[in-house]
Amino acid sequence: MNKLQRCLLTLTLTLTLIPVTWSTVVLADAGHGDEASPSAADSTLEPRITARSNTVELVGILRDATLWLYVDRYASNEPMDGARITVTKGTARSEAKPEGQGLYSVTQKWLAQPGKHEVQVTVAVDGVSDTLKGTLEIPAAMADGHGGTWLGYAKWTGLVVVVLGLLAGFLKWRKVNAVVLPLLLLTLLSSVPDSSWAHGDEDHGDNKSPAEAAAPALPVASGAANLAGANTGAKRLPDGGLFLPKPAQRLLNIRTQLAAVRDIPRTVELNGQIISDPNYSGRVQASQAGRIDAPEQGLPHSGQPVKKGEVLAYLTPIMSSLEASVQQAQLAEINANLSLTEKKVQRLEQLVGSIPQKEIDAAHAELQSLRDRKVALSAGMAHPGALRTPVSGVIHHRNLVVGQIVEARELLFEIIDPAKLWVEAVTYDAALADQVKAAYTVLSSGQAVTLTYLGQAFHLHEQALPMQFKFDAPPPELSVGQPLRVYVETKQSLRGIVLPQESVVKGSNDELQVWVHSEAERFTPKKVRVQKQSDNSLAVLEGLEAGERVVTEGAALLGQFR
C-alpha cells in the first residue's frame, strides 16, 4: 500500500467515525442523563392560551394541530354553551366548532407553525360580545414531528456520496479483501442516529414517561377528542396551590362565586321545637271517669278535619254498686215525694177561693222541682255525655278506643290548626330579647323560612329562657314537636362574605380554609375565620378579599390532590 492509498484509507475511516461521534452527542443531549433540564416540568404541558374578561374565561389547549377552546363564565366557572366564537390570527380568521359542554375546536394551518402567535378570540353569547387576546407559543419540536428536516437529510446524503466515491477510488488503485467495503458501509449506516432517539419528550416504543403513565384519562366532552395523558394531570405546587387543567375542572364540576363584602348581622343559633298556636288549638279531656262509646260516624282518626262543636265520642259515667244504690234510693225518695205532692196540689186546687193563692202556687213549685230532680237524676244514670271539639282544625292526638274506661282529666283528643304554628326556642342569654332583629329557620330541604318574634319568658326552664316565634306561612311538612334550629339575627353587624358551608374545608393542619380560583387553571388555598349563619351558609370574617373567586362546589375534592 503506497502513501496515497494510506491517506485515502485514513480519510475514509475518519469520515466514517464522524457520524458515530455525532450520534453519541445527539443521544447524550436528548435528556437521557441523570439530570433533568430546568423546564422539564413545563414540557409536560401542551401549548396553552388563556384569556379572560369580566364575563368570560377562556383556555385553549393545542393538540394535534387542533386548538381546543374551553369557554366558561368568569364568575361561576360554568361551561358556556351556545356561544359563537371567532379565532383570528393576523389575516387568518375562522369560526370555532361547538363540541358540547362549553367546548369548541379550531383547526388552522398556522397551528402547525412554531413560534409565538398573537391570537384574538371573539365570544358572542346572549347578545353580549367579548374580545379576548392572548399568546400561543408553539415549540419547534412539536411542529417538527418525529422526522428530521430536509437540510439534515441532505447533509447525510452528501456525506454518504463522498465516502462511497473515495472508496471507489481506493478500490480502483488496489485490490483489497471484498469484506472491507461491506464492513465500512455497515459501520456508516449503523452510525446514523435515528431522529426519533433524539427527542426526549416522545415515546420510545411502548414505554411512557412516569408522569404520562400516572395521569388519568379525562374526557373533555361527549363527541369530542379525548385530551388524556400527562398533559391533563393535576399538580400540587410548591407554594401549596394546585394546578388543575380545564378538562379536570369539568370532570370535577368545579363551581365558583365572586366574594362580596357586606354588612352581616351577628347571628345566634338556638335549639327549638314546633308547638301549636294556643289560640287555634284545643284539648278534649274526660270530666269524670267513664266508658267511651262511639258516635254514629265512628271515632275520628288522626289527621281528620273537624269543626267546632262536632261530637267526637260519648262518655258514659261509671259508678260503684254503692254509688248506684245511693242514686236509686234518691230516685225512689223523689218518686214518693212526687206522688204526695201531686195529691196535695189536687186538693188545694179544689179549695180555690177559700185558701190563700200563695199556698197553691207553692205546691205547684214544689211539684215542678221534684219532677226536674227526677229527670236530672235519671239522665245521669242512663244517658252518656257527648265529647265535643272546642275549636276547628285536625285531630292531632287521639288516645282511646270504644269501650275504654278513662279517668277524670285524662287527655282524649288534641286538635290543632296546621296553618297556625309557633316555634319555642331556648336561650341562655337574657339580653338577647332586646337584640332580636329578625329570625328564620332552615328546613331539611334547605329552604329558609322566616319567623316572627313574639316574646321571651322570664322564668327559667331547665336553666334556659324560652323564646317564642311564629310562622308567617308554615310549610305543610312541619309537625308539632319537630325539633329545628332557629337563627336569630341581632342588631349588631359584622363585615364579611357569605358563602355556602361546603366552600369552607379543613386543611392539612385542620385549619379552616377556602380555595380561591386565582387563575384559569390555578387554585390557591387561603386560611379564613368564619361565623356560622345557618345550616348551609357561613360568614367569612377574615382571610378573603372582595372580588376573589371562591370555590363553592368541589372544594373538598381539591384537597385530595397530593
Q: What is the pLDDT of residues 389-429, one digit of tens each?
A: 999 999 998 888 999 999 999 999 999 999 899 999 999 99
218 vs 226: CA distance, rounded Å: 7
pLDDT in tens, 47-97: 999 999 999 999 999 988 899 999 999 999 999 999 999 999 988 899 999
CA torsion sign for 265, 268, 269, 272 is: negative
pLDDT of residue 381: 63
The class (CATH top level) of 234-279+417-562 is mainly beta
Residue with cell 481506493: 170
pLDDT of residue 254: 95
**The residue to which cell 366532552 is assigned:** 221
Query: What is the model's pLDDT at position 3?
Result: 56
Write out pLDDT tens, residues 277-307.
999 999 999 988 889 999 999 999 999 999 9
What's the confidence (pLDDT) of residue 351? 81
For helices 150-173 and 180-191, the axis angle rounded to 10 degrees is 170
Binned at pLDDT 50, 70 and 90, residue 484 comes out as very high
The pLDDT mean for the chain works out to 79
Residues 251, 257, 258, 261, CA torsion sign: negative
Q: What would the pLDDT profile of 430-461 be if each residue is shown by its tens digit?
A: 889 899 999 999 888 878 899 999 999 888 88
pTM of the predicted model as reported, rounded to 2 decimal places: 0.58
**Which has the closest alpha carbon to 396: 272, 273, 280, 271?**
280
pLDDT > 50? residue 248: yes
Q: Domain 42-107+117-137 belongs to what architecture?
A: Sandwich (2.60)
464 has pLDDT over 60: yes
pLDDT per position as a tens digit, 514-527: 999 999 999 999 99
Query: Per-residue pLDDT averaged across 380-397, rounded?
Result: 85
C-alpha cell at 402: 270504644
Residue 131: name the closest of 93, 81, 102 by CA: 93
- What pLDDT does residue 33 have? 37
Stronger pLDDT, 323 or 342, i.e. the higher one: 342
Mean pLDDT is lowest, of 124-133, 137-146, 238-247, 502-511, for: 137-146
* Long-range interactions of 541-545: CB distance < 8 A, separation 24+: 541/494, 541/495, 541/496, 543/513, 543/514, 544/259, 544/497, 544/514, 544/516, 545/259
Cα gap 442→448, rounded to integer Å: 4
Q: How many residues are there in the chain?
A: 562
| Nearest residue to 432 via CA among 463, 462, 464, 461 | 464
Give me the helices (H) in 270-320, please.
none
Per-residue model confidence (pLDDT) at position 333: 87
Q: What pLDDT is attached to residue 402?
A: 92
What CATH number has the domain spanning 282-414? 2.40.50.100
- The C-alpha torsion from 258 through 259 and 265 to 271, rounded to 10°, is 70
- Cβ 502 vs Cβ 268: under 8 Å: no
List pLDDT tens digits, range 136-173: 998 887 655 444 444 455 555 556 655 666 555 555 54
End-to-end CA distance of the chain: 71
Note the pLDDT of residue 201.
Answer: 40
Q: What's the pLDDT at 510?
A: 83
Name the residue ranges covered by the structural domains of the chain: 1-41+139-202, 42-107+117-137, 234-279+417-562, 282-414
Give me 206's grid cell.
411502548
Considering Cα of 51, then 57, then 60, then 61, what sign does the dihedral take?
positive
Highest mean pLDDT among 328-342, 359-373, 417-431: 417-431
- Sheet containing 128-138: which strands, arranged edge to edge? 92-95, 84-89, 115-125, 128-138
pLDDT in tens, 500-559: 999 999 987 889 999 999 999 999 999 999 988 877 889 999 999 999 999 999 999 998
Least confident span in 62-66, 249-253, 277-281, 376-380: 376-380
pLDDT range class, residue 41, cuts 50, 70, 90:
very low
Residue 388 has pLDDT above 60, yes or no: yes
